[in-house]
Structure formats: structure tokens, C-alpha cells
Chains A and B, each alone.
Chain A
């Protein structure tokens, strides 16, 4: 009964380092999303996937890459971290219809120094 699990929960990176955030869901949801949340900005969509093997750009995709090799996992990569990527990252998933809203993971707090 895990729902959506994000790892890691916290991370501090130095500028230029790379890392991968993992999102795993056990609800057999088709659609998965990565959002970032900054103070006063609301959640902004980075990338999303409508099924295994598919990815698409959201509102703020620059500096990020994603992969969905397995239906249950959605990975978000930062190739060369920048201080502007300091944020809280949330993963979410929904069944294909999406009429009942999304289920969110508990978030990853990333600081880039």
C-alpha cells in the first residue's frame, strides 16, 4: 500500500554535479509526472509520461531529462545541477482517465550550492 514513493527525500548537490531522482508507483497508473515547487510559484510541470517508454516536456523542462523504461518507475535526471534547480520536486501519478486527481509522492528537497 505504498502509493507513490520518491527517493531520495533530501539531497545537497554542488553546482555541476549530476543526480537522478526516482519515482516508483505500485498502483499500475499509466500517467506519471514530475513537478517542482518554489515559493510563491505553485507547482510547475517539468516532464511527464503517458505510458511505459514515452516521455514529453512540460512547462519547465530545461536542464532535466527523464526516462520511463518500466511502467512503475519514472526517473528525473539533472545532468549538471545549477543553483536555480534548488527546489522541492514532487512526482505524481494517475490512471489513464485522470478524473480523480493525482496521487503525489512525499517530495524530494534538493539544494544546489
Chain B
């Protein structure tokens, strides 16, 4: 079983729509959680950290459920520029990151 699993999508949504997707992780001792964004053929860039109480950053909302070991990301009022692959990332207690394979989101005009 992969350490981090994501629905690969693609999620194809119109501008202004809300889109949400999850990932699950297998290591219950995981310490930190992140969402990264990766544009085609570019390096991953940190979108936001995910805190236990849930957190927002503008149009993005992240939730963590430790009991069920899943993380979610919700994007409100989608923009064309939100089109990307979103990577769910989990850090163990050894400072190593484990990456999901990514969820592809395409926002259409």
C-alpha cells in the first residue's frame, strides 16, 4: 500500500465552481501535512500547510482528520490559474516527505 494515496482526477470544473478532493495516508505517526501545487513540468511549490483544526488561505481550505487519516483540500470560486496538479504531502517523524501521485484540476472558462 502506498503511504499517501490520492484520487488522480482529473477534476474538470468551470470558473467560479467549488472543487474538493481528498487524500489518505497510512502512517498514523505522521507529523506534518501539506498541500503542494505543481504546474506542468515545473517543481512542486508549497500551497499550504494543514493544521489539525483546519485552516484557510484565501479561497483554499484544508482539513485534517487524524482519526480517519485523511486530508482534504477545497478550492472555492475556482480561477483559470488554479489549473494544476495538487500533491498531498505527509512528513513522518524523520523529516522525510511522502508524496501522493497528485490530483489534476482543470478549470475551464
Interface residues of A (CB under 8 A from B): 31, 33, 35, 40-45, 48, 50, 58, 88, 90, 92, 94, 98-102, 104-107
- Nearest-neighbor residue (CB-CB) of B100 within chain A: A42
Q: How far is the CA of A44 from the CA of B102 in the complex (A)?
A: 13
- Nearest-neighbor residue (CB-CB) of B89 within chain A: A101
Per-position 1/0 for B89-109, Cβ under 8 A of A: 101000111011110000000
Interface residues of B (CB under 8 A from A): 2, 4, 8, 32, 34, 36, 41-46, 49, 87, 89, 91, 95-97, 99-102
Asked if B32 and A43 sit within 8 Å, CB to CB, the answer is no
CB distance from A11 to the nearest CB of B (A): 15
Taking a contact as CB atoms closer than 8 A, the residue among B2, B34, B42, B87 that contacts A106 in the complex is B42
- Nearest-neighbor residue (CB-CB) of A88 within chain B: B41
Asked if A104 and B49 sit within 8 Å, CB to CB, the answer is no
A residues near B91, Cβ cutoff 8 Å? 98
B residues near A50, Cβ cutoff 8 Å? 95
B residues near A48, Cβ cutoff 8 Å? 96
The 3 closest A-B pairs by CB, nearest first: A104-B43, A42-B101, A43-B99
Asked if B96 and A42 sit within 8 Å, CB to CB, the answer is no
From known contacts A41-B101, A42-B102, A101-B34, infer whether A31 and B95 are also in contact, taking CB-CB under 8 Å.
yes
Asked if A100 and B44 sit within 8 Å, CB to CB, the answer is no
Of the A-B pairs whose beta carbons lie under 8 Å apart in the complex, a sample of 5, sorted by A's number, is A33-B97, A40-B8, A94-B95, A99-B32, A106-B43
From known contacts A43-B44, A90-B44, A101-B34, infer whether A58 and B96 are also in contact, taking CB-CB under 8 Å.
yes
